Amino acid sequence: MSHRKPLWGWLTAEAVSLTGTRVSMVAIPWFVLTTTGSATQTGLVAFAEMAPYVVVKALSGPVVDRIGARAVSITADLASMLAVGVIPLLAGLDLLNFPLLLVLVAVAGTLRGPSDGAKHALVPSIVEASGVTMERATGLGGAVERLASTAGAAFAGLLVAAIGPIQALIVDAVSFGIAATVLAATAPRRAAAPDVDDPESYFARLRQGWDFLRRDKVLVGIVAMVATTNLLDAAYAAVLVPVWAQESGGGATAIGLLFAVFSGAAVLGSVVAASVAERLPRYWTYVIAFTLGGAPRFLVLALGVPLAGVLGVALVGDFAVGFINPILGAVIYERIPAHLVGRVTSLQNSLCWAGIPFGGIIGGAAVTGFGLTPALLAIGACYFLATMLPALQPQWREMDQKGHGGVVARTKVTP
């Protein structure tokens, strides 16, 4: 099992870091909503984190390719530990106000951008060093993401109810330090090799990544779809669910339960997908998964379905959604040449996240202007269209063409 050490180390670092991040996803919006009573300010704090996250992540690709994904990830995680840790410290000293919170959240987002981009760029090296298929690695990565969401969301709901949202951010700060330590001990050293032979300037290398991305119609379609659904998911998580929990009387505990069930079901789906996804038709798996796991979760909240029914829909829908990450992840990495992985994946991921800063603002404006139920119905309808319309385009059938000239086609792996 020693040859699998890079894989298990990467998965562990992801689990720890994502668990802490999920704590902040519950803690910060709930803190702002309960202290200000404003859905708009709740959306603004999400914007303050995600806007710099997206911009810096998009620009970090050439740095990742030149310096190395391992070094960038470790350095950014250590800096994130300090940035997030300042928030509970200032709150304890009674020095934290809303404008200062926005600044600190923006700093944390700025550091998370290159950290997450570098972790994505590590995947091909992890796959090669560990000797697994790309579907299995991305499937396990998806399972870990969902498992971290389960632990983080459930723990956050209980922790926020017990000691308050600001104190819960200590967990997020500590998680960054642990993730950096684990990667330093397990990530393959060759993943850190600088691209010293590349004579091109920073902007020329950035342009190379952009030119490759925009010419691949499948990747462009995936980016457009994921960017839209991420925007709508941000509105759902940052505003719609907290307002629903407040109006229904469920409180922070209901938020934690809902996100935990969503994530727990997707863990099971991702684990199953990691074993069988390489044998499934990718296109039809995508269509079925998003039909079950997309719009229905907005609809049940809009209809005022009791918590048990909401959790039931979450259970079925997110089991199906667990199959999405292994499929899309494998398609993306298969299509990108190894020397462009850092640049293309950073651009692709940042574009996918580009709408997230506006998700909270849109959700807050929709609830303020029209009320919770109309906002849920409208955003749910947009989600359905965003996931189903791209699938009607002929080029999406290329998803079933495995090993499309990219990383996997030139990397020897074993099941």
CA distances in angstroms from 364 to 41, 87, 97, 153, 207, listed in the order given: 8, 24, 21, 21, 36
In angstroms, the CA 100 to CA 346 distance is 29
pLDDT at 177: 92
DSSP state of 405: S
pLDDT at 414: 28
DSSP string for residues in 307-362: HHHHHHHHHHHHHHHTTHHHHHHHHHHHTS-GGGHHHHHHHHHHHHTTTHHHHHHH
For residue 44, being part of any structural domain is answered with yes
In angstroms, the CA 149 to CA 314 distance is 14
For residue 415, being part of any structural domain is answered with no
Domain at 9, CATH number: 1.20.1250.20
Residue recorded with tokens 């410290």: 89
CA distances in angstroms from 373 to 242, 325, 376, listed in the order given: 13, 30, 5
For residue 197, being part of any structural domain is answered with no
For residue 229, being part of any structural domain is answered with yes
pTM of the model: 0.66
* Helix ranges restricted to H, 122-216: 123-130, 134-163, 165-186, 202-215
DSSP state of 135: H
pLDDT at 405: 46
In angstroms, the CA 256 to CA 160 distance is 10
DSSP string for residues in 105-129: HHHHHHHHHHHHHHHHHTHHHHHHH
DSSP string for residues in 374-398: HHHHHHHHHHHHHHHTGGGSGGGGG
In angstroms, the CA 10 to CA 3 distance is 13
DSSP state of 403: S
For residue 55, being part of any structural domain is answered with yes
pLDDT in tens, the chain (415 residues): 457 788 888 888 888 887 777 777 777 777 777 777 777 777 788 778 777 887 888 788 788 877 888 888 899 999 989 988 898 888 888 888 888 888 998 998 888 888 888 887 888 888 777 777 777 777 787 777 767 766 666 777 777 777 777 788 888 888 889 999 999 888 887 544 444 455 567 778 788 888 888 888 888 888 888 889 889 988 888 888 888 888 887 777 788 788 778 777 877 887 887 777 677 788 888 888 888 888 898 999 998 888 888 889 888 888 888 788 778 877 888 888 877 777 788 788 778 877 777 888 888 888 888 989 999 999 999 999 988 877 787 777 777 766 544 443 333 322 2
Classify residue 42 as exposed, middle or buried by CB count within 10 Å of its CB (0-12, 13-18, 19+): buried
Range of the domain at 365: 2-190+202-410
Q: Identify the CA nearest to 347 among candidates 57, 87, 29, 126.
A: 57
pLDDT at 159: 73
| Helix (H), strand (E) at residue 251 | helix 251-276
CA distances in angstroms from 388 to 55, 221, 232, 270, 331, listed in the order given: 28, 12, 15, 21, 18
In the chain, the number of structural domains is: 1
**Other Cβ atoms within 10 Å of 192 Cβ, number:** 18
Q: Identify the CA nearest to 64 among candidates 103, 114, 16.
A: 114
**Other Cβ atoms within 10 Å of 184 Cβ, number:** 16
Q: Identify the CA nearest to 336 among candidates 183, 112, 151, 134.
A: 134
For residue 289, being part of any structural domain is answered with yes
In angstroms, the CA 165 to CA 147 distance is 21
For residue 195, being part of any structural domain is answered with no
For residue 90, being part of any structural domain is answered with yes
